[in-house]
Structure 1
Amino acid sequence: MVNPPRGVVILGLGLIGGSLAKTLVRAHWRVRGWDPDPDVRSAARECGIEIAESVDSACGEPGALIVVAAPLREMGELFAQIAACTDDTTTVCDVGSVKAPVRGLARQAGLGARYVGAHPMAGTERSGFAATSPQLLRGVVWAITIDDDTASGSFRRVVELVTDGTNSRALVLDDAVHDAAVAKISHVPHALAAGLLTLATGGSDPSVARALAAGSFRDGTRVARGDWRRSQAMVEANGEAVAICLLEVAARLQRLAADLADGRDTAWFFHAPPGEQARPGGPGARSIAAGPAWARELRAAGRTGEAVVGIDADGYVLEPLAKEAGGARP
């Protein structure tokens, strides 16, 4: 097992930040947390999380790994505070679902080389510290985004957090590839769920529709039943990629509607090509050395579905992920 960092600081103790804090405490990592809500700080302290009363006091220890688990609208101010009270030994990452805008804010604050994007592919429709769980982020896939300027030491710290701290796997990507992918598998589903919920609860006889709603409706609208502002902010932050996907979906739905109205066959819509079978690790596992080309090689591996599962004397250990659709809740 790799030694944990000297300190892990989590700024924001909502669903993801709070769940991560609980997970790391159980894994015997030293965790210091902060949240702007004093009631949340109190509840987190009762769960065994060391609590700081300010951002400055939370981040002041040299060499810390700082995880920013705050809404995108608060990132710029938090990054500026972090830059003012830390030095180059500090690593900063976030856990949001959009990466390119966050890297831009990190660069503006002067954190560019020591910023690493991170996105755990797990969650629920609920929010807040009351919804947190130490199991939510264990054994899931995380996306880690880097660029050519990312410091190798900062990247390694975040990989340790993911693989050692949460027993998870890290798919290494660049920001654009990540944002385009999550538009398809997370952000567009949020938009479609909201549209479906609105469709069923409006129009004629909404009471009948609600009375008859069962499993398929529940599953299709689950993510629209939480905080709509969170969904709106997430979709808008990745607006360009989401818009491209929505236009593609809309075109397919328009064609489907026309075919249904004219009585034509619609197998083209419902019969999706089968996904690739899972490719388990073992013989397929390999290592990428932490040499000069580490960032380029790891991003290339990530685009083929190979994830970092640990660190050894040879470098980063990779194994192929399953390729079929499905998995943890976005």
Structure 2
Amino acid sequence: MEHVLPHVRYERCVVSQIEHLEMLLKASGSINDWTASPFGGVLRFLGASSFFEMRTYWGLYLDAARRRDQIAQIREEIAAIHEPHSAEATYHLSGMRSGGLHGITHYAVLGSTFRAYWKTGVVAGNQQDVSVLQREKRGHTNPLLLVSSAPRNDFAMHYGTDPIFGYNVAAALDDSSDVSNASERLAKIVKAQFHDWCVAFVQHARAQTVQISFHCGDALALCHTLQRRAAIPPKVPEHLYSYTRPWSAVPISLDSRLDSYSLKDFHVIDTSNISDHIGILNLLPATVPLLSSANNAVLYTETLLPESLDPDKYCDELLRADTKAICIFMNLSPVGYLLGMSTEHF
């Protein structure tokens, strides 16, 4: 399972990955074929356009896995992405969130693991994987990262990509006296947690207690389409969000077999930092109507572009209006604002 980790390099050509991609393509001849396949009960698509777009990428992944590795070209592409940003600062602080309480005291270690990942292509640049790569003539490029939606489907990893994000690695930093082996312990914990997640997912999939629905396209367009299908009074004219993405002629068409309950009453909506790109005032009308009316329903938003350095004025600047008035109008309760808590992190 560790081969699914975002390693840029593998120690060998993973035959099972090729076989799995072939299996996915065989099972996805049509939407009906997919629904009847072993994957259809767990992995679903909200519409035909998303289904066929995903199938296209499976084919691209398979081609990338089969073709002869071009190590020099990939190294040039990695350098073109990483080097301009690595020179901007000595330390990279993003990994501090994964270190928990140890993040502040071990920021240098977490920064070095980020740079080691981009230099070696394996998590935290751990010596076990690096030594195997050296024996295997630098290994093979991960086809899942080699293909992207960029022009010509080129390698286009985000310059801030770090495999430790999303994992709790605080335990690897408990021993502050042994900093030299911290990267090795960190990589070991990341692999162990990822393995446990995979095992748990397989168990839930077999028990049919988990279902994932995919959409390829514009997030706001999907939200407004879900509102229309769920008979929620529209907030914007329908023609503004009728297509899968801007400048696309492909209309959004949700699967008619989706029941109306599954299209609304979400208890959790996580928007990451999409508001940095589209604006919070465009995001809220699209997402809030889809939330459940339960008191514990939550909308998560993040930003990397603070509107104000004054915490007391931050929400007012972000919303371009009085925060209390907006909260009453949209039936929202910003926890940090109401409790006077800081919600900032590195």
TM-score by length of structure 1 reads 0.25
Per the normalisation by structure 2, the TM-score is: 0.24
More strand per residue = 1
